[in-house]
Amino acid sequence: MFVVQRGEEPPHPMTATQQLLTTFYEAFQRKDYATMQACYADTAVFNDPAFPNLNAAQVRAMWEMLIRQGKDMQLTYRVLDADETTGHAEWTATYTFSKTGRPVVNQVRSSFTFADGKIVSHTDQFDFHTWAKQALGLTGLLLGWTSFLQQKVQQTALGSLAAFMNKGQQPS
């Protein structure tokens, strides 16, 4: 398994896709959404429990929105593996959830597909119930395991993203 953590030298020269993921996550740590956006192909798709089925324009805008809102976000990551067509990483984001002011530590596993040196598919997986308990408090504790709450969070997240994009905040 190939694992590189921030500040470590890789055991051998990085492949282009390993470097792409390292560039992506280092930009994420620096809150550099423009560099993150540039890692995606124009045909990219993204999925996670809060933001399902995003296209390239939406995923680029999502990262900008989340970074602009996540003033106190801290991130650690590990690139687990990456070959010519696929890659995997694990990352942990620590931040204050803006809607409730509650602290969140979200552990995420990412899967990627690459083509022509860009990310064409990106899926993030995390335990929604654990996230909901932290972000939403008692509501998340009691309802975080239900599809009802996850759908409500998705509707809210997608609505926030649409409003952000409609304000002209989306990347060029």
Q: Would 134 be classed as within a structural domain?
A: no
DSSP letter assigned to residue 98? T
Q: Would 37 be classed as within a structural domain?
A: yes
Q: Would 111 be classed as within a structural domain?
A: yes
Q: Which domain holds residue 118?
A: 4-127
Query: Look-up: residue for tokens 């192909």?
Result: 41
Which stretch of 7-11, 34-38, 67-71, 80-84 has the lowest confidence by average pLDDT? 7-11
Calculate ∠ Cα 101-107-112, nearest 5°: 120
Mean pLDDT in the chain? 91
Token pair of 88 as six digits: 């995997």
Q: Would 138 be classed as within a structural domain?
A: no
Q: Would 167 be classed as within a structural domain?
A: no
The reported pLDDT for the residue numbered 172 is 40
The reported pLDDT for the residue numbered 1 is 42
Q: Would 172 be classed as within a structural domain?
A: no
Q: Would 156 be classed as within a structural domain?
A: no
Listed in order, strand segments (DSSP E) in 11-151 are: 40-47, 54-55, 74-82, 86-97, 102-115, 118-125
Region 88-101 average pLDDT: 94
Confidence of residue 170 (pLDDT cuts 50, 70, 90): very low
> Residue 40 is part of a domain; what is its CATH number?
3.10.450.50
Q: Would 70 be classed as within a structural domain?
A: yes
Query: Look-up: residue for tokens 């696929």?
Result: 86
- Whether 61 has a pLDDT exceeding 90, the answer reads yes
The number of distinct structural domains making up the chain is: 1
